[in-house]
Each structure stands twice: as structure tokens, then as C-alpha cells.
Structure 1
Amino acid sequence: MSVAAEAEALPGLALAPIGRRLVRFLTQPIPGFLPLATADPEAFRRTLRRGDVVLVEGNTRIATAIKYLTQSTWSHAALYVGPIPGRGESDGEPHALIEADAEHGVVSVPVSKYAASHTRICRPVGLSEGETQKVADFALARIGLSYDLKNIADLLRYLLPTPPVPSRWRRRMIALGAGSPTRAICSTLIAQAFQSVHYPILPSPESIEHAMRVLSSAQSGDAARYRLDEIRHIRHYSLFTPRDFDISPYFAIVKPTIEIGFDYKKVDWARLDADPPALNPPSP
């Protein structure tokens, strides 16, 4: 049976043999592709605060499908909750991130897992310490839930080969999965955590009605209506993707290099040993 056929017959149990085979296939790295890390690992670690959403550019088969459907660099998201008592690596590094992993379900992991990856830190603004802790507690309480393998089975359909899917349908194709309260996908888990304290991720339809009316004067009415319908459609937590935290007007983008004190005057540019050749004068 082909992998695609197995996806159609995928049972609902996370530990089913077919499910395990499918997960192993989709979580394999793509040979020769390694996203470039843009921040120093130590700067990345020092910059993180409780409640930060860490977006990751993955290099696996499932990451390829997510990036295609969302037309985004980001294929995965994790929530920073701070060092978790009793959870850590054998070398003593504490676990501080919560994520929904296709192979292991909702788990805690150390920051070092993504320190060398291409990442983006998205920080909520205005939450009190107590509210931030509630967001963290929401995610912590879900450690051990299984990953929604129905989501993986559906994503597989858009991997081999990559289909010419119209952009207006891609968002709805991400609204996959069984919807079980005992299962999760990465961005769904984090969206639920923030919605538990009524923190928005994308604007409500009411707040952009005026903007859409202005927009409609510059482009077709159909295009303006589509944009409004799109935002209305993705408000439910099951429809959020990693990209939404990046474009959200309610999350600040935090750059570790800048946060730790960037001074462009201290950049040590590579210099040529020899003087550059003189430019030839223009011919008369």
C-alpha cells in the first residue's frame, strides 16, 4: 500500500502501526535543506520571556506541506513557558518550551532544540504576569495529549506532488483534523492558550470593517469581501497557523540580536588583503 493510500486508511489511534509509519515518513528531514539560523543561540535563549511564541522554519516533509498551504516561511510553533520543574535533559538543561509534536504529541522540550534553527519570536503585548502564567498553565496542563494524526493524513495529500491549489482555498485546507479535545496540532494548542485569557491573534471582523470599505474603493468588491471573509473564517482556534502569529498586529516581533544591544559600528566586516583595483576611466 502506498503512503498516500495509507493516509486515507489512517486509524484514529495515535499509536496505530500505519500512523507510526506515516509519522516517520513525514517527519524525516529533507536532504540538503537546512534553514539558516539568524540569531546567536545564547542571544536567542536570553531574549525569551514567558508567553513568547517561537516560530520555526522546519526542514521536514510535513513542514513543506504547511509552508506551501500557508505561503509562509514558518511551519511550526512552540510556546515558551519558562523552566519547567521536574522536566529536563540528561545534561541538566531544563525544558522550557511546549509544543505539539507529530511523533510524541504535546511535549515539553529545551530551548536548545531550536537554538540553531531559523526562528522568529512573537511576543504578546499588555498581558499581566498572572495572565501570562495562565497561558503557560493552559499549555502545561495539556502535556501528554496526542497529536491529531487526521491533520497529518490530510496534509499528505498536498505533498506528493505539490498541487496547484488556489490561494483562496489554502486556508480552509489547514482547517483539518479530527477536532478531538484530546488531540492537538502546534498552532491550535497555542491559539487555545491565548484565547483562554481572551487575547486576540488576528483582528475581529468588526475592527476591520472600515478598512475593508476603504480597500474596496481601490480594488474589486469581491477582493475586499474575500479578505474580510478570510479573517472571519480563521478566528476559531482550529484554523490558526504559525504564520498568523507573525502577521498578527497584537504580537511584537522580537529580534534577539537587537534585544541584547546591537551596535552596527562594532560589526567586524571582512576586508580584502589587497586594495581594490582602480576603476578604468571611461573611453573617450
Structure 2
Amino acid sequence: MNWLGEKLGGLLARYLKQPSKNYEPFSAIHPEALQNCLQKGDILLVEGNLRISAAIKYVTQSTWSHAALYVGDALPTPQDGSEPATLVEADLTSGVVAVPLSRYAGFNTRICRPVNLDPKDLEKVVHFAINSIGAKYDLKNVIDLVRYLLPNPPVPVRWRRRLLALGSGDPTRAICSTLIAQAYQLIGYPILPKIKVRKVAGLRGSYYTREYLHIRHHSLYTPRDFDVSPYFEIVKPTIVKSFDYKTLLWAEERPVHKPLNPETDHS
């Protein structure tokens, strides 16, 4: 029955990879500005426009449905002169692949950057991602794909993260954040660890509390987690360098508001 599951899984995957209608970016960054801002080890979050993206965004209560790791010039330069691949990502139908940055031109994106990362640890993260290229999602686990057919599944909020980990085998390869979470857990860099407080015995019978971090399983991480993580810096290409709002060119006259008169104006 494996061949049947693989065939059915392939059909479902191709359906989920079709673009949904009416996607419109609200603040897409120019690819050149994005390229100039990105650093090796950065995580690029993307608001996808695929059918699977709608389900992921609903389940995670976030605008981000995809994540890719920026590896810079770590991959070989194409001999045919084409654009080099600078991102490593997990794709539903292709598995783990390397893609050029232009793939996400015209999409809403966000850069999440690890802070004070040791250069040797950074190389380990990049090396792990590159060595994962070619790994495939097991399409025989059809239950892992069926969950994405309902863009708005009637599941309570507290259970939605667990919904992403349903199934068997490698259940969240379709959720690209799994690959990146594994890479950063390899070096002990926190994303969104569980925090538990314990009482610790002190001197003369006293006690004090101490926080301990517990690692979440990588299969439970979503693109949103890098955005809300307190350990990743949000980098915005439009303001990371010199930005002067007074130099902006507006297409229409800005409205002029009269100051409120406290005697006649009431809210």
C-alpha cells in the first residue's frame, strides 16, 4: 500500500502547492534592499500565497507561513551565470532545496536575526542546513497532508500547535521551520523554550527561585515562533540604514488637521 499512499500524497501535495486567489502584498521589500540587508544565519519569514499557506497562517495565528535560512555565499556559484542560491528551505513537494532570493520577490517578508552568534556555531547552522539538501518529505503519511485541506479547521487555539505535529514519521517536514529549529537547537541557541520556575535550597534553610529553560521538540516550531522569539532581532531593510521620513515623496497632499479647541471639541 506504500505506492498508493505515495501517489495520493503526491496529488494532495501538488494541490496544496497551488497559489490561492486574491493574494496582495502590502509592504514587499525590493529584492536588492533585502539582499543588501541579509546576513548569513538570518531567517527569512514569508507570507506565502499557496493553499497550504492559508491553513498554516490560520493554525499559527500569524501572517507568516514559510521560513527559509539565508546561507549567503556558502553554496557553489552556478557555472551558467544564473542567480546563485542563497536560501535553504524545506518544500512540501521538493523536500529540502536551495533557492535564490528572487523566489520571494513581491512577497511580504521579515528578517529574524540571531544575536551574538559565535562564528563557529554559525557555520554549524549553515552546514547542517546545506547537508540536509535533498532530504524528502514522506508523502506516504497522507494524514500529515489532509490536515491542510481545511484552511480554517475548527480546533481550539490551545490545541493548534499540536495539530501541526499530527501523523507519523517526520510529520512536519512540510512546515519549513522544523529544519531551521533543528539547526539552531544543534548549537543550543534558544527560539521559544519552555520556562519553568523551581525552588532551589539556599543558605540556612532559605529558598529562592530559578528559571530553567526546557527545549521544545523541533516538530512543534512554526514560522511565527522566530518572529515572537525574544532571542531573535527583527531587521527591517527600509530603516536599518539612513532613513529620513522628511524625504519621502507622497502621491497626494497630506491632510492638515486643525488643533482641537477644548471648549468646542469633545470626543
Does TM, normalized by the shorter one, top 0.5?
yes
* 1:195 maps to 2:185: yes
**1:162-201 pair list within 5 angstroms:** 162-180=152-170, 185-201=175-191
Query: Bigger shift: 242-251 or 111-120?
Result: 111-120
- The Cα of 1:38 is off from its aligned counterpart by 3.0
How many angstroms apart in 1 are the aligned matches of 2:42 and 2:177?
13
Query: Bigger shift: 146-155 or 33-42?
Result: 146-155
Q: Out of 90, 93, 114, which is 1:100 matched to?
A: 90
Q: Secondary structure at the match of 1:103?
A: coil
Query: Bigger shift: 43-52 or 76-85?
Result: 76-85
* 1:244 maps to 2:225: yes
* 1:115 maps to 2:83: no
| AA aligned opposite 2:243 | F
Alpha-carbon distance change, 156 to 65 in structure 1, aligned in 2, over 3 angstroms: farther
Aligned residues: 243
Q: Secondary structure at the match of 1:176?
A: coil
Q: Out of 230, 235, 240, which is 1:259 matched to?
A: 240
* 1:139 maps to 2:129: yes
Does the CA contact (< 8 Å) of 2:12 and 2:145 recur in 1? no
- The Cα of 1:92 is off from its aligned counterpart by 2.0
How many angstroms apart in 2 are the aligned matches of 1:195 and 1:150?
27
- The Cα of 1:33 is off from its aligned counterpart by 1.8
**Alignment match, 1:34:** 24
| AA aligned opposite 1:74 | W
- The Cα of 1:153 is off from its aligned counterpart by 3.6
Does the CA contact (< 8 Å) of 1:12 and 1:149 recur in 2? no
Deviations 1:156-205 (A, max 9, x none): 33533733211111011012343449x66411100000011110101442
Alpha-carbon distance change, 89 to 164 in structure 1, aligned in 2, over 3 angstroms: farther
TM-score (norm 2): 0.80
Q: Which of the pair is proportionally richer in helix?
A: 1
* 1:49 maps to 2:30: no
Q: Out of 216, 221, 240, which is 1:235 matched to?
A: 216
Alpha-carbon distance change, 131 to 61 in structure 1, aligned in 2, over 3 angstroms: same
| AA aligned opposite 1:48 | L
**1:200-219 pair list within 5 angstroms:** 200-206=190-196, 209=197
**Alignment match, 1:219:** none
**Alignment match, 1:5:** none
Q: Secondary structure at the match of 2:89?
A: strand
Alpha-carbon distance change, 238 to 114 in structure 1, aligned in 2, over 3 angstroms: same
Q: Secondary structure at the match of 1:193?
A: helix
Give the fraction of aligned pairs with identical amino acids, expressed as a percent: 56
- The Cα of 1:155 is off from its aligned counterpart by 4.8
| AA aligned opposite 1:79 | L
| AA aligned opposite 2:252 | R
How many angstroms apart in 1 are the aligned matches of 2:237 and 2:32?
9
- The Cα of 1:66 is off from its aligned counterpart by 0.7
**Alignment match, 1:21:** 11
**Alignment match, 1:271:** 252
| RMSD, aligned α-carbons | 3.0
User: What residue ranges of structure 1 are gaps of 5+ in the alignment?
Assistant: 1-8, 211-230
How many angstroms apart in 2 are the aligned matches of 1:252 and 1:152?
36
Alpha-carbon distance change, 110 to 254 in structure 1, aligned in 2, over 3 angstroms: same
Does the CA contact (< 8 Å) of 2:66 and 2:175 recur in 1? no
Alpha-carbon distance change, 40 to 60 in structure 1, aligned in 2, over 3 angstroms: same
TM-score (norm 1): 0.76
Q: Secondary structure at the match of 1:149?
A: coil
**Alignment match, 1:69:** 59
| AA aligned opposite 1:265 | K
- The Cα of 1:94 is off from its aligned counterpart by 0.6
Q: Secondary structure at the match of 2:111?
A: strand
Alpha-carbon distance change, 49 to 133 in structure 1, aligned in 2, over 3 angstroms: same
